[in-house]
């Protein structure tokens, strides 16, 4: 099996690729608890990709526990496209296709409706929601072919992606018997599939008996000579036959939902700080807000502010705050236009807001508004120390203390109990958000800043920001205090087991050196006991 990310051997997050001229195979596999069968799936996808001269990306929404993976699967941990499994993001992904592909979206709902009525209630909503999400990310990745393995639930997602994007979908089945229990969405997957690979002739006969000869005609038995080559040829023919009016693919058509006319370039110039929590964003906002003629309003679209009706920066001085709260929900473009005008009236040349990664996947209207903003500049703030970010986030969430001013006391940092699966899930999520943010705003002037750069060389960061924003940088002493980096081994309960679980994975670099103590500490045992 080839290395899934040969150019991203360890810590770097693979970006959405540029057009390369090669076919792109979007595959689903690697569920939470892999089995030897999933290693076979990886090998199969490699063989099919070779026959198609295609590059492969794996789409998944649960990262396996690294400790459960055999050595041969460890290089695949975190590879491919990770989809956030949030209700809000799934709803926005469906809303995207309802707006951009209304006819295809409607036909899929009609196909799934009778099956959903008989489906397993606890899984139906999630399965369908993740299908919209995979389709949107496959659209951004410019997938040409979808591949899935039954009974993995990704088969519905791959089938929906194929139908929405009008790309061929191959589904790989195991052995079928008359007694084989099939998930609720199996008939939909079969009807949407371009080609079906079955284990043998007996399975093919079961398929014909249960679903009819028309569906069975799509199937290829793997016991036939040259079965894999035949599968590849059928997929290639389907790619060539893709209609000219099929949906456009790429980051811009995937992450923009309603293409808005460019806003008039009136008022102060707008910039956005795009980031995750605990990346130094409060420090950066503080530094920018004290630059000459620069205003920085913070998280204008924070969900807690939305629920509570709070308008940072605006609600203290604007007489029409109720109207602006309505615009924030119903017309973000109009709110941003008002923000620029208000900033100009207060004597500012630049005005910025902080946009968290979560806002970009749960608010289509906000993304559309930002993309339509004239001369929008993007400051993409990341933290390379992913484990440090996660520890900081968990502590802040526990204490509800998100920043400290200089001179304030420093609370003792409690040690955190982490599971390997929890850490892997967070790492994958942050990488997915980073690549989506970069792809969404690829057409805008931007700079990439890391937390580490901000802490180590504030003046250099300010000079880079001045170049991007067209401002005159002024060296200022930060009002907020960043805590000194701590030894992660001293802050994590069960560090040795956690570090061992990531050995041989692309995230091993997040666990450098030797743990402070190879054996469990007394407080480790206390924390782990019920």
pLDDT of 37 above 80? no
pLDDT tops 50 at residue 1: no
pTM: 0.87
Q: Report the percentage of the chain scoring pLDDT > 70.
A: 82
For residue 515, give the nearest of 487, 528, 496, 529 by alpha carbon. Answer: 496
Q: Could you tell me whether strands 169-172 and 195-198 are parallel, antiparallel, or unpaired per DSSP bridges?
A: parallel
Name which of 472, 436, 434, 427 is nearest 450 in CA terms.
434
Q: pLDDT tens digits for 179-214? A: 988 888 888 999 999 999 999 999 999 999 998 888
- The Cα 267–Cα 274 span in angstroms is 22
Mean pLDDT for 260-277 is 88
Q: Report the pLDDT averaged over residues 147-160.
A: 83
| Whether residue 2 has pLDDT greater than 50 | no
Q: pLDDT for 302-328, tens place per residue?
A: 877 776 777 877 766 566 778 888 888
pLDDT at 529: 31
**Full DSSP string of 73-88:** TGGGTT-SEE----HH
Name, in order, each residue with C-beta under 8 angstroms of 93's C-beta and a sequence gap of 6 or more: 129, 132, 133, 135, 136
Q: Using one digit for the tens of pLDDT, what is the confidence trace for 398-445?
A: 766 545 555 544 555 677 888 998 999 999 999 999 999 999 999 899
Long-range contacts of 327-335 (CB under 8 A, 24+ apart): 328/300, 328/301, 331/365, 332/301, 332/363, 332/365, 332/366, 332/368, 332/369, 333/260, 333/263, 333/365, 333/368, 333/369, 333/372, 333/373, 335/300, 335/369
**Residue 522, pLDDT score:** 31
Three-state DSSP class for residue 449: strand
Neighbours of 2 (CB within 10 A): 11
**To the nearest whole number, what is the mean pLDDT of the chain?**
83
φ, ψ of residue 220 in degrees (nearest 5): -130, 125
Residue 388: other Cβ atoms inside 10 A: 19
Cis, bond preceding 151 (omega within 30 deg of 0)? yes
| Residue range 358-412, pLDDT digits in tens | 999 999 999 999 999 878 999 999 999 999 999 989 987 776 654 555 554 455 5
CA 177 to chain centre: 38
Read off the pLDDT band of 8 (50, 70, 90): very low
With H, G, I as helix, E, B as strand and everything else as coil, classify residue 347. coil
* SS3 label, residue 219: strand
């Amino acid at each position: 099996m080839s290395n899934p990310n040969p150019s991203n051997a360890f810590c770097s997050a693979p970006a959405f690729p540029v057009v390369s001229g090669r076919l792109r195979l979007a595959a689903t596999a690697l569920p939470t608890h892999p089995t030897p069968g999933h290693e076979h799936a990886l090998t199969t996808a490699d063989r099919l990709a070779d026959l198609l001269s295609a590059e492969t990306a794996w789409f998944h929404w649960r990262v396996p526990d690294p400790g459960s993976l055999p050595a041969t699967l460890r290089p695949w941990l975190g590879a491919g496209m990770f989809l956030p499994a949030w209700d809000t993001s799934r709803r926005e992904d469906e809303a995207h296709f309802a707006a951009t592909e209304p006819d295809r979206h409607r036909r899929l709902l009609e196909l799934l409706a009778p099956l959903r009525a008989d489906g397993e209630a606890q899984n139906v909503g999630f399965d369908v929601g993740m299908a919209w999400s995979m389709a949107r990310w496959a659209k951004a990745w410019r997938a040409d072919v979808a591949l899935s393995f039954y009974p993995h639930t990704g088969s519905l997602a791959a089938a929906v992606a194929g139908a929405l994007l009008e790309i061929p979908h191959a589904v790989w089945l195991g052995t079928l018997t008359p007694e084989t229990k099939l998930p609720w969405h199996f008939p939909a997957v079969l009807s949407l599939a371009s080609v079906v690979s079955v284990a043998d002739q007996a399975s093919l006969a079961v398929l014909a008996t249960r679903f009819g000869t028309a569906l069975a005609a799509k199937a290829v038995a793997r016991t036939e000579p040259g079965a894999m080559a035949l599968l590849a040829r059928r997929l290639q023919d389907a790619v060539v036959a893709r209609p000219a009016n099929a949906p456009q693919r790429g980051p811009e058509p995937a992450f923009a939902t309603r293409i808005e006319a460019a806003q008039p370039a009136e008022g102060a110039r707008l910039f956005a700080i795009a980031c995750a929590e605990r990346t130094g964003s409060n420090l950066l906002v503080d530094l920018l807000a004290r630059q000459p003629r620069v205003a920085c309003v913070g998280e204008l679209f924070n969900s807690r502010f939305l629920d509570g009706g709070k308008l940072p920066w605006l609600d203290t001085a604007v007489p029409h705050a109720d109207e602006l709260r309505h615009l924030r929900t119903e017309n973000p473009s109009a709110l941003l236009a008002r923000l620029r005008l208000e900033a100009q009236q207060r004597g500012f040349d630049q005005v910025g807001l902080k946009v968290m990664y979560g806002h970009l996947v749960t608010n289509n209207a906000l993304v559309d508004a930002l993309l339509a903003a004239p001369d929008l500049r993007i400051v993409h703030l990341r933290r390379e120390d992913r484990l440090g970010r996660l520890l900081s986030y968990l502590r802040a969430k526990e204490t509800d203390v998100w920043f400290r001013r200089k001179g304030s006391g420093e609370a003792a940092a409690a040690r955190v109990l982490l599971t390997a699966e929890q850490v892997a899930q967070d790492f994958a999520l942050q990488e997915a958000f980073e690549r989506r943010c970069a792809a969404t705003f690829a057409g805008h002037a931007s700079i990439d800043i890391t937390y580490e750069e901000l802490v180590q060389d504030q003046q250099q960061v300010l000079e880079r920001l001045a170049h991007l924003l067209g401002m005159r940088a002024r060296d200022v002493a930060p009002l907020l205090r960043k805590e000194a980096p701590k030894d992660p081994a001293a802050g994590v309960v069960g560090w040795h087991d956690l570090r061992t679980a990531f050995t041989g994975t692309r995230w091993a670099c997040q666990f450098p050196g030797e743990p402070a103590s190879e054996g469990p500490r007394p407080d480790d045992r206390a924390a782990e006991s019920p």
